[in-house]
Amino acid sequence: MVGAVFRMPYVKYALIVAGVIVATGAAILLYTNRPITVEVASVEENVPVRVFGLGTVEAQVLSKIGFEVGATLVELNADHGDRVSKGQVLARLNTGEQEAKVAKARAALLVADVNIKKAAANLEKAQAVSAQKQEANRRKQALVGRDIVSQQVADEAARDEAVARADVAVAESEAESAKAQLTDTRAQLQFEETMLRHRTLVAPYDALIIERHKELGTVIKAGDPIFTLIAVGTYWGLAYVDEARAGFIQEGQRVDARLRSRPQEAFTGRVVRIGLESDRVTEERRVFIKGDNPPPRVYLGEQAEFWITVDRLDKALLVPESAVHGYDGRQGRVWTVEAGRLHRRLVGFRHRTEDARLEISAGLPRDARVVARIADGFREGRSARAIEARPK
């Protein structure tokens, strides 16, 4: 009896502990299975899809111009920052030696012209003598048959005619040679005059001079750059875009730009060219943009930011990329609320916005709501109450 009395407190304590454990487990079970409130994405309208690219300001037409010959630089008519017109003289080389060569070639042309006239006169003389010898030979050959002229005289007349014909052939060849010599002399004069013109440097187009590389008195070599210039109005932007984002870029799409030196101003333009070769190291594609409203003065190489509008979605369901598991650029898994329960779904994506949200294009059941923010305690089949996430 006494032992039973002593055992009663232990049993009581054991029951109390067991009750606490059961109550705690029940509380935990109720807590972990309680409906949770989740934010879900909603359909948005008129959503622009823009691709970001970082790049620089460049010129479509840029030339480093110089002389095709070497000599001393004796004249400079332009400098850094000058605007020049097509055909304007920019610089000249020493022309003394080349002018002497041109004068010599002109004198040779005069000599060749005189030789042409001389050869023509000799040909005319040879033809006259030949005609005279031919007529004399004809008469003597007629008289020899009547024994009025000896055979020896007739033979001499035939020989003189043959010699006269040979002289005509020689005179004709000398006339042709004189003509060829005249053609060669004219070509030589043209060459020397061309070399003289090569000592004058002119602007190939209306341009802005970016840099002057040489100064007066410098002895330059053929091909040395004297000026760097760009064609007026050929400024454009060069944007480097991640290949993963460049697939939807096309010529003609609108571009918004911001120059580093003018962050408060808005510039717009259009895509005019997409490079056909990507950078194999940085995995970026080159996109060229022509500006609609460039600033009055542009600085080559200045850093610029570009936003290319590749599409505009009339209606779109967008989910933050942070709420997608296993995104591979084409598909990934999202949490959905269906009939008040959480589920995992594999869905397809198309566009990605600049604020890192993905457009769901396939794989979503009807009436399913996509969770926009992942929280602790998510598991398949758990009760959930959906509330609209605030639009971006």
Residue 149 has pLDDT above 70, yes or no: no
Q: How many residues does the chain have?
A: 392
pLDDT tens, residue by residue, 315-365: 999 999 999 999 988 999 999 999 889 999 999 999 999 888 999 999 999
What is the gyration radius of the CA atoms in the chain, in angstroms? 48
pLDDT of residue 155: 67
pLDDT at position 215: 93
Rounded to the nearest 5°, which phi and psi values hold at 197?
-65, -30
**Beta carbons within 10 angstroms of residue 244's beta carbon:** 12
Q: Could you tell me if 231 and 204 are in contact, meaning their C-beta atoms sit under 8 angstroms apart?
A: no
pLDDT at 32: 53
Joined together, the tokens standing for residue 198 give 């090569």
Please state, in angstroms and rounded to a whole number, the distance separating the CA atoms of residues 240 and 54. 6
pLDDT (tens digit per residue) in 53-63: 999 999 999 99
**Structure confidence at residue 20 (pLDDT):** 61
Mean pLDDT score, 233-260: 93
CA distance 139 to 156: 12
How sure is the predictor about 121, in pLDDT bands with cuts at 50, 70 and 90?
confident
Q: How many CA atoms lie within 13 A of 94 on its CB side?
A: 12
pLDDT at residue 6, rounded to an integer:
46
**118: pLDDT strictly greater than 70:** yes
What is the full DSSP assignment across 193-227?
Answer: HHHHHTTEEE-SSSEEEEEE---TT-EE-TT-EEE
pLDDT digits (tens, 9 = 90+) for 186-227: 999 899 989 999 999 999 999 999 999 999 999 999 999 999
pLDDT in tens, 64-110: 999 999 999 999 999 998 999 999 999 999 988 888 999 999 999 89
Is residue 300 within 8 Å of 336, Cβ to Cβ?
Answer: no
Write down the pTM of the prediction: 0.70
pLDDT over 50 at 1, yes or no:
no
Distance CA 17, CA 110 (A): 131
Task: Note the Cα 248 to chain centre separation in Å.
Answer: 19
